Amino acid sequence: MIVGGLPARQGRWPWVVSLQLTWNRNHVCGATLVHPQWMVTAAHCVNGPDLSKASEWRALFWQKGTSNEIDVIVQHPGFVNGDNYPNDIALLRLTEPADVTGFDLRHACLPKREEWMKQWEKCWIMGWGDSKGDITSELKELEVKVRENSECSARWGWKRILNSHVCAGDGGRGACNGDSGGPLICRQDGYHFLAGITSWGVGGCQTTGYPSVFTRVAFYTDWIQDIISAYANR
């Protein structure tokens, strides 16, 4: 559960996905649909001998109430599982393209590489995690302020915050356990962009002054599009 968040209204976030283990159907991480057949999540969500197997996962489309299997997982080759989690991004392919022609399932827009310093109108985070470490079935959302990296570095240490990170929130409210991989969605000119992927933060989830840290998606838009193109005929 997003700490300090409110229940998300049905129809508001049609690209949000719950990543669940196939054997128990428990929510593990969030993801975002960015293409009819591809989702983006955090690489640390699918890291490990078992978790990196596509057959272990299914995608539950929150608003539509339907699920789809996954047949491909691609972690960023530069991902490091530890400390500041550089390149914490992965792509997952659905076995079949999702129908995104209706209002209950859409894909979010990808920001352009040159827009990594963009000042967004408004931003929100959302997820199913819980501040006590449990998982709730209720999607929560929270409007957050994106912080300058210099401000974030002053809290976390300049060596930990990279240009490929984006920080948001005030530490007292924000992402928690189970929210990893979920989106930082920002609105601009009537469109909703996937600006960030929930990556890491302070232990305990609620420490005022320490913003949540996200993977800055604009840094990886070219990589995302290259992977999607490379698998187009596979």
Q: What is the CATH number of the domain that holds 140?
A: 2.40.10.10
**193 with 156, same domain?**
yes
Residue 153 confidence (pLDDT): 92
> Cα dist. 232→53, 149, 229 in Å?
20, 36, 5
The 8 Å CB, 24+ separation contacts for 132-135 are 133/177, 133/178, 135/26, 135/27, 135/178
Which residue bears the tokens 């399932």?
105
Q: Tokens at residue 202, please?
A: 């302070």
65 shares a domain with 52: yes
Pick the range with the lowest mean pLDDT from 7-21, 44-58, 120-134: 120-134
Lowest mean pLDDT: which of 59-68, 125-134, 171-180, 214-223? 125-134
Model pLDDT, residue 194: 96
The verdict on residue 1 lying in a domain is no
Say yes or no: 133 and 226 in one domain: no
Q: For all residues of the chain together, what is the average pLDDT?
A: 87
Q: Which of 7-11, 28-32, 57-61 has the lowest mean pLDDT?
A: 7-11
Residue 131 has pLDDT above 60, yes or no: no
- What does the pLDDT look like over 157-185, one tens digit per residue? 867 899 999 999 877 777 777 789 999 99
- Same domain, residue pair 94 and 165: no
169 is written with which tokens? 């929130």
61/24 same-domain check? yes
Dihedral class, residue 113 (left if φ above 0, else alpha if ψ from -120 to 50, else beta): alpha
- The length of the chain, given as a count of residues: 234
In this predicted structure, the answer to whether residue 84 has a pLDDT above a threshold of 50 is: yes
81 and 112 in a single domain? The answer is: no
- On the question of pLDDT at 40 being above 90, the answer is yes
Question: What is the pLDDT at residue 133?
Answer: 41
pLDDT surpassing 90 at residue 1: no
Higher pLDDT, 119 or 134: 119
Tell if the pTM clears 0.85, that is, is over it.
yes
Annotate the chain with three-state secondary structure: CCECCEECCCCCCCCEEEEEECCCCCEEEEEEEEECCEEEECHHHHCCCCCCCHHHEEEEECCCCEEEEEEEEEECCCCCCCCCCCCCCEEEEECCCCCCCCCCCCCCECCCHHHCCCCCCEEEEEECCCCCCCCCCCCEEEEECEECHHHHHHHHCCCCCCCCEEEECCCCCECCCCCCCCEEEEEECCEEEEEEEEEECCCCCCCCCCCEEEEEHHHHHHHHHHHHHHCCCC
The mean pLDDT value for 27-40 works out to 96
User: What's residue 196's pLDDT?
Assistant: 96
Do 127 and 84 sit in the same domain of this protein?
Answer: no
Please check whether residue 51 lies inside any domain of the structure: yes
Confidence (pLDDT) at 132: 45
Domain that residue 117 falls in: 6-11+108-218
Residue 65 in this model has a pLDDT that exceeds 90: no
Question: What is the mean pLDDT of the segment spanning 192-216?
Answer: 85
Do the beta carbons of residue 193 and residue 117 sit within 8 Å? no
Residues 112 and 210 in one domain: yes
Query: Which of 23, 27, 43, 17 minimizes the C-alpha distance to 129?
Result: 27
The answer to whether position 73 is within a domain reads: yes
Distance CA 182, CA 139 (A): 11
Structurally, the chain folds into a number of domains equal to: 2
Same domain, 65 and 118: no
CB atoms within 10 A of CB 163: 10
Predicted confidence at residue 70, as pLDDT, reads 97
Catalytic positions:
44, 88, 180
